[in-house]
Amino acid sequence: MSRRSGACLRCCLVIFAVVSALAVCGPALYWRFKKTIGNSGSKISCPPCICDCPPPLSLLKIAPGLANLSVTDCGSDDPDLKREMEKQFVDLLTEELKLQEAVAEEHAHHMNVTFAEAKRVASQYQREAEKCNTATETCEEAREQAEALLIRERKVTSLWEQRARQLGWEGE
């Protein structure tokens, strides 16, 4: 079974390769074949094209500076670039490490400032929460006292109402 599927796969790959080659080369072969048949079968040919198009612009006319692409004198008149290119590899690595250290210090400073700000805000929220808790406790104590007073008043009212009924009051 695997030998048959391997042969089928090879056959499919060959067919795919032939179809791909024809797809790539087919249009060029078609026009060449059509041109040769057209010239031999009938002597009618196209008249020469007349166009007043300007000649295509050259690279030198578009950007004259691009014509000088030699690498040897690249930046030879720039003193900063010349100084930079003369540095040794170790110096360049040292400079890169110093830059990375400066960036790391700046990042650490920013992180410390952000952390201090976060601590300050957290402390402020903590104080606000404590104020809120204190106010809630005060309100709860006042509610409990008011509830106790109300219960006492109801008892006194009930007592007075009971005495009034004993003395003949019939109520509403």
Percent helix, strand, coil in the chain, to 5, is 80, 0, 20
Domain annotation covers residue 119: yes
| This prediction's pTM | 0.36
Mean pLDDT of 96-101: 94
Phi, psi at 50, each rounded to 5°: -115, 115
Among left, alpha and beta (phi > 0; psi -120 to 50; other), residue 75 is left
Q: Which residue has the higher pLDDT, 115 or 88?
A: 115
Domain annotation covers residue 73: no
pLDDT of residue 80: 78
- Whole-angstrom distance, CA of residue 38 vs CA of residue 44: 8
Domain annotation covers residue 74: no
pLDDT higher than 80, residue 155 = yes
Q: With residue 148 as reference, give the H or E element that holds it.
A: helix 89-166
156 — pLDDT class (breaks 50, 70, 90): very high
Domain annotation covers residue 57: no
pLDDT higher than 60, residue 88 = yes
Of the chain, the end-to-end C-alpha distance in Å amounts to 107
Residues 25 and 99 in one domain: no
Residues 99 and 32 in one domain: no
What is the residue range of 26's domain? 1-39
| Integer CA distances (angstroms), 151 to 146, 147, 154, 165, in order | 9, 6, 5, 21
Residues 104 and 170 in one domain: yes
pLDDT higher than 60, residue 162 = yes
pLDDT of residue 31: 81
